[in-house]
A and B are shown apart, each in its own frame.
Chain A
Amino acid sequence: MSSPDVFPSGPIQSVSGSALVLRGDDIDTDRIIPARFLKCVSFDALGDQVFADDRTELAGDHPFDRSENQAASILIVNDNFGCGSSREHAPQALMRWGIRAVIGESFAEIFFGNCLALGIPCAAADHELISSVQDAALSSPGGIWTLDLNTLSLTGSDHQAHSLMIAQGPRDMLLSGRWDATSELLAAGSQVDQTHASLPYLNGFR
């Protein structure tokens, strides 16, 4: 299991840990981290604020508050998770709480990209499979699950290997450790100059 304080780095072959089940479609980034917590110039404090309003509403019974979930690192969600705002504060808050992988039916695009930029895989499966994994995870709290990016499978307390989907590009980036794109983008510096010089609108439309 990963420690909440040790963030992803380098190649990511697999993620292992207990699962946290958060049911519901269209869970938006305003719910993951309400806007008032965006008033900060660093991400450091966001871990405690993840799902702040939903947790207050449920007064200790929210999945992120239940005692059996406190060591969880794999979040299992439903459809269109992370829709809405582009705030990276959302995956930052999840990561700082301890989440290292998200499994769900589908993900909003910007959220998926923000997770990838932090080394957090988002892998998908259909509704039936996700529901059965959620049931299995809830029936054996604390059970250990493993997302294997080489075989694209999830195994866990139901002792089955479930196939997951993640596009080849993001998967390769995670497996090779190239998910932190900055160095690669900088490596192509002269080609960036060429493109810059070729664009009509940056060159007097000539």
Chain B
Amino acid sequence: MWNVLNDDPLSSGTLYDKVWDLHRVAELPGGSTQLFIGLHLIHEVTSPQAFSALRDKGLGVRCPERTIATVDHIVPTTNQQRPFEDPLAEEMLSTLERNCAEYGIKLNGIGSGRQGIVHVIAPELGLSQPGITVACGDSHTCTHGAFGAIAFGIGTSQVRDVLASQSLAMNKLKVRRIQVNGQLSEGVSAKDLILHVIRTLGVKGGVGFVYEFAGSAIETLSMEERMTLCNMAIEGGARCGYVNPDQVTFDYIKGRPYAPSGDSWERAVAWWRSIASEKDAVVDDEVVFDAPSIPPTVTWGITPGQGLGIDECVPTLDALEPAERPIAEEAYRYMALEPGTAIAGVPVDVCFIGSCTNGRLSDLRAAAAVARGRQVADGIKAFVVPGSEQVAQAAEAEGLDVIFRAAGFEWREPGCSMCLAMNPDRLDGRQISASSSNRNFKGRQGSASGRTLLMSPAMVAAAAVTGTVTDVRTLGISAPMSNGIAV
């Protein structure tokens, strides 16, 4: 691992190598590289202390025009009237507003039509583009790798550094190609794929690596599916994940507010093509997966690596590697799941559809295809939180909100919501949730004893209408559930 050992990366000719070389500013005396940051996304949680540090040091913001802000983590999803009921949340948003106004940074605030989860709005505004570097004080910044960007999460000290210098001190990572051959089966989504990858390679398997997702299964994914995939690279320990840009990427970007237009569009596409990994690129490692054999996948434990195919049972200790046993034992206790329990049929209390992983229009369509004409099971609280104002508007324009409401789901305002429960949306006590989010850590969804089962949005909807973890493929949904379906 880069932070422990001194073995140098060997990769060459990959998108990562090209982007790294283009953005290299200088070699720093400490041995790290000063890397230019092409796009800096900020939000209310990890930026206030960075702005305070700028003031303490008498520094300004070097490239306010390459810095884009929104508010997402703390926003309520029921009543977004200002001031917020929670004074701490209100203080965080007003601090962000003050900082953006003072330093000339564009803030996509509530009601602007462009507010939403930072990793949902940057792609839909056309800010996320191939070949750029993206930094944000949020670990799921790897999402933007879906466009062939090199995008990574940073801490607040680094947010300060990017604000001040538009650059970061970084160490080069290794490249592991995740080659996924064949096509995913019907009813199996990008979420299932990434949960399967993390289950196979482990939650720290990617530490020190960038994941390059490649192969025929990846090439046929939509942009939104690629975002889901890259979003969870960090859950496998990889700080960045990316997909090489192709026509799917260019078609998505074209016409968006920050997309190149006019004469520069053709030049942009040519450059974007040139930035993709060469055919003979050298990677440090490669792992091959067979897409058709991947089932709908659900987590049972307290790390995203504790996943199961929908037909499998909670593993017994003797089926696990010795190193995995202590955390499995902790997970049995915390989740109150006995080894050998079939994951299908486990009852749930709360169903959450949303987050930077699965809060986009195609995710809501997939869930609505399941919810349509069905009813949320008795005693289940189910709610849908669109990833952005644009997602909400588009979903409402095609009537998804009506389908969800008719089925007994609550239809909310955009934000991060119960993924990390910094707003009023949270589990109570030992409630167990089916969640389309990204982390099943102890306490993650706002209750110190709350429990989370991660799965795709269609699978969350299936759990909502049956009351238990259910293979969505058994519900007889005829439309494909992973990509841009009509409902």
Question: Within 8 Å of chain B (Cβ to Cβ): is A31?
Answer: yes
Determine, out of B21-29, B185-193, B463-471, the stretch whose residues face the partner at the interface. B21-29
A-B contact count (CB 8 A): 244
Question: A30 touching B443 by the CB < 8 A rule?
Answer: yes
Question: Within 8 Å of chain A (Cβ to Cβ): is B222?
Answer: no
A148-206 with Cβ < 8 A to chain B: 165-170, 172-173, 176, 178-182, 184-186, 188-189, 191-192, 194-196, 198-202, 204-206
Closest residue of chain A to B153 (Cβ to Cβ) is A86
Residue numbers in A under 8 Å from B442 (CB-CB):
30-31, 53-54
Question: B52 touching A42 by the CB < 8 A rule?
Answer: yes
Residue numbers in A under 8 Å from B156 (CB-CB):
88-89, 92, 114
Q: How far is the CA of A42 from the CA of B56 in the complex (A)?
A: 13
Q: How far is the CA of A110 from the CA of B158 in the complex (A)?
A: 10
B131-165 with Cβ < 8 A to chain A: 131-132, 137-139, 141, 152-158, 160-161, 164-165
User: What per-residue 1/0 map shows which CB atoms of A82-111 lie under 8 Å from chain B?
Assistant: 011111110110000000000000111110
Residue numbers in B under 8 Å from A31 (CB-CB):
441-443
Residue numbers in A under 8 Å from B290 (CB-CB):
none
Closest residue of chain B to A195 (Cβ to Cβ) is B36
Residue numbers in A under 8 Å from B59 (CB-CB):
182, 186
Closest residue of chain B to A194 (Cβ to Cβ) is B25
Q: How far is the CA of A144 from the CA of B268 in the complex (A)?
A: 60
Contact of B264 among A91, A192, A194, A205 (CB under 8 A): A205
Contact of A204 among B34, B38, B264, B303 (CB under 8 A): B264
User: What per-residue 1/0 map shows which CB atoms of B257-286 lie under 8 Å from chain A?
Assistant: 000100010011011000000000000000
A36-81 with Cβ < 8 A to chain B: 36, 38-43, 53-54, 56-57, 79-80
A48 to chain B, nearest CB (A): 16
Question: Within 8 Å of chain A (Cβ to Cβ): is B360?
Answer: no
Residue numbers in B under 8 Å from A170 (CB-CB):
3, 30
Question: Within 8 Å of chain A (Cβ to Cβ): is B386?
Answer: no
Q: How far is the CA of A145 from the CA of B203 in the complex (A)?
A: 31
Q: How far is the CA of A200 from the CA of B274 in the complex (A)?
A: 12
A201 to chain B, nearest CB (A): 6
Closest residue of chain A to B422 (Cβ to Cβ) is A35
Residue numbers in B under 8 Å from A86 (CB-CB):
46, 137-139, 141, 153-155
Contact of A167 among B5, B63, B169, B271 (CB under 8 A): B5
Q: How far is the CA of A107 from the CA of B420 in the complex (A)?
A: 22
* 4 nearest A-B residue pairs (beta carbon): A169-B31, A88-B155, A114-B155, A117-B157
Question: A184 touching B169 by the CB < 8 A rule?
Answer: yes
B457 to chain A, nearest CB (A): 22
Question: Within 8 Å of chain B (Cβ to Cβ): is A122?
Answer: yes
Greatest chain A CB density within 10 A among B89, B137, B169 is at: B169
Q: How far is the CA of A194 from the CA of B23 in the complex (A)?
A: 10
Q: Known A38-B422, A41-B48, A110-B154; judge A185-B168 contact (CB<8 A).
A: yes
Residue numbers in A under 8 Å from B199 (CB-CB):
none
Residue numbers in B under 8 Å from A40 (CB-CB):
88, 92
Question: Within 8 Å of chain B (Cβ to Cβ): is A4?
Answer: no
Q: How far is the CA of A122 from the CA of B1 in the complex (A)?
A: 13
Q: Known A41-B92, A188-B167, A192-B166; judge A110-B30 contact (CB<8 A).
A: no
Question: B303 touching A26 by the CB < 8 A rule?
Answer: yes
B47-80 with Cβ < 8 A to chain A: 48-49, 52, 57, 59, 62-63, 66, 73-74
B231 to chain A, nearest CB (A): 13
Question: Within 8 Å of chain B (Cβ to Cβ): is A124?
Answer: yes
Greatest chain B CB density within 10 A among A38, A42, A176 is at: A38
Question: Within 8 Å of chain A (Cβ to Cβ): is B287?
Answer: no
Question: Within 8 Å of chain A (Cβ to Cβ): is B288?
Answer: no
Contact of B129 among A41, A110, A201 (CB under 8 A): A201
Q: A34-B443, A110-B152, A127-B323 given. 5 additional CB < 8 A pairs?
A: A24-B327, A26-B204, A30-B441, A80-B203, A83-B204
